[in-house]
Amino acid sequence: MRDFRNWHITIAGLGVIGGSGGLALRKRECPYVYGIDTNPESLKKALQMGIIREGDTQGEELLKRSDLVVIALYPGLVADFLRERKGIFAKGALLTDVTGVKGQLAGELAGILKDRPDLDFILGHPMAGREKSGIEYASEVVFRDANYLIAVRPENTREHIETIKEFALFLGFGRVTEVTPDFHDEMIAYTSQLTHAIAVALMTSDIEGRDTGKYIGDSFRDLTRIANINEELWAELFLANKEALLAAMAAFSEEFSRIETALEENDPETLKKMFRRSTRRRNNL
C-alpha cells in the first residue's frame, strides 16, 4: 500500500465530496493537502476546518507541486479545467475525478491530454454523497465502506489504476470495482439516477396542502431521502446520461405497468409473484 501521507494532493472543488475527501485525508494525517475553489468563502471554511493546508481560486502554484489532483467539479466543468491548466500540472502527475457520468468525459480526455503524455487521468466515482450541498456538510464518514468505481480507459496504465484503487481504500471506501465508461453509465442510470427520478416523482405527485408529514413512516422517509436534491448538479447528470437513463426508466415503467394491470384485473397471483421476485433479488443484493 502506498503511503499517501507523503504525497502533495490538490482537491479542485471544495463542495461536499471534495470537502469530505479533504477531511478523510486530514484524519489520516496527510499534511500536504491543497484546495482550489472559485468561491473564496469555501476556501476560507476549508482552511478553518483544517481540510486544506493552502487554498487558491486558480491554483497554478499548487498544481505545479501536486502528485495527485482530485477534480471534484460538476461534470461539465472538468474538461474546461483540464484544458485551461494542462500546461501547469507537475510532470507525471496523476489526475482523477469524482463525477457521476463518464462516457462524455472519457471521449474528450485523449484529445485534451494528447500533448501531455506524462499525465494519466483515471476516471473515478465515489458512490457516496449527501443531500445537502456545500463544504459545511462535508464529512469523511460518507466514504466509510462505500463503493468506489473506476472507469478504465485504454490509455490508463495498470500502475496508475492500482494507485487510485489504493487511494480509494485509503480514504475508507470498502470496495473498488473496475468498469468501462459505458457500462459505468448504464449501471449508474439504474442504481443512482433512476432512484433519484423516482424519489422526485413521488414527492412532486403529492397533493398540495394535505399535511402529508402526519402520515409518513419509515418507507416514505427511506424512499424520499434523496428527493432533497441539488437541482443544478442532477439536471446536468440526467441530461449527460439521458440515453441510459431513459432505457432504465422504460424498464421500470414496464414493471410498474405490470402492477397496475394486476390491480385492474384483480390478479393477486401476479402481485405475489412480483413480490417474491423482488424479495429474492433484494436479499441477494
Q: What is the pLDDT of residues 26-38, one digit of tens each?
A: 999 999 999 999 9
Q: Read off the pLDDT of each residue in 40-49 and give the average, rounded to a whole number.
A: 94
Q: Is the pLDDT at 47 greater than 90, yes or no?
A: yes
What are 198-235's pLDDT values in tens digits?
999 999 999 988 999 999 999 999 999 999 999 999 99
Does residue 211 sit in the same domain as residue 143?
A: no
Please state, in angstroms and rounded to a whole number, the distance separating the CA atoms of residues 34 and 29: 14
Cβ proximity of 140 and 27 under 8 Å = yes
Residue 107 has a pLDDT of: 94
Cβ proximity of 64 and 72 under 8 Å = no
**Residue where a domain terminates, one of 179, 214, 241:** 179
Q: Is the pLDDT at 131 greater than 90, yes or no?
A: no
pTM: 0.92
Please state, in angstroms and rounded to a whole number, the distance separating the CA atoms of residues 228 and 196: 9
Please state, in angstroms and rounded to a whole number, the distance separating the CA atoms of residues 272 and 277: 9
- The DSSP call for residue 92 is T
Cα–Cα nearest to 105, from 147, 30, 155: 155
Q: Read off the pLDDT of each residue in 142-155 and give the average, rounded to a whole number.
A: 96
* Contacts with 66 (C-beta within 8 Å, 6 or more apart), sequence order: 8, 9, 10, 34, 89, 90, 93
Does residue 10 sit in the same domain as residue 108?
A: yes
Q: Is the pLDDT at 102 greater than 70, yes or no?
A: yes
Q: Can you say how many angstroms the Cα of residue 179 is from the centroid of all Cα atoms in its chain?
A: 15
Residue 130 has a pLDDT of: 66
**Residue where a domain terminates, one of 179, 212, 241:** 179
Does residue 144 sit in the same domain as residue 220?
A: no
Of residues 131 and 102, more confidently modeled:
102
Does residue 164 sit in the same domain as residue 37?
A: yes
Does residue 168 sit in the same domain as residue 189?
A: no
The mean predicted confidence, pLDDT, of the chain is 95
Q: Please report, for residues 4, 95, 174, 198, 273, the alpha-carbon distance to residue 166 in angstroms, rounded to integers and kept in the order given.
A: 9, 14, 11, 34, 43
Residue 227 has a pLDDT of: 94
What confidence category does residue 135 fall into, taking pLDDT thresholds of 50, 70 and 90?
confident
Please state, in angstroms and rounded to a whole number, the distance separating the CA atoms of residues 139 and 161: 25
Does residue 222 sit in the same domain as residue 131?
A: no
Does residue 35 sit in the same domain as residue 149?
A: yes
Does residue 125 sit in the same domain as residue 62?
A: yes
Residue 167 has a pLDDT of: 98
Please state, in angstroms and rounded to a whole number, the distance separating the CA atoms of residues 29 and 170: 11
Does residue 156 sit in the same domain as residue 172?
A: yes
Q: Please report, for residues 36, 38, 122, 242, the alpha-carbon distance to residue 191 in angstroms, rounded to integers and kept in the order given.
A: 30, 31, 22, 14
**Residue where a domain terminates, one of 179, 214, 229:** 179
Q: Read off the pLDDT of each residue in 15-21 and give the average, rounded to a whole number.
A: 93
Does residue 239 sit in the same domain as residue 100?
A: no
Domain range for 147 is 4-179
Q: Read off the pLDDT of each residue in 123-134 and give the average, rounded to a whole number.
A: 82
- Number of structural domains, the chain? 2
CA atoms lying within 13 Å on the CB side of residue 250 = 6
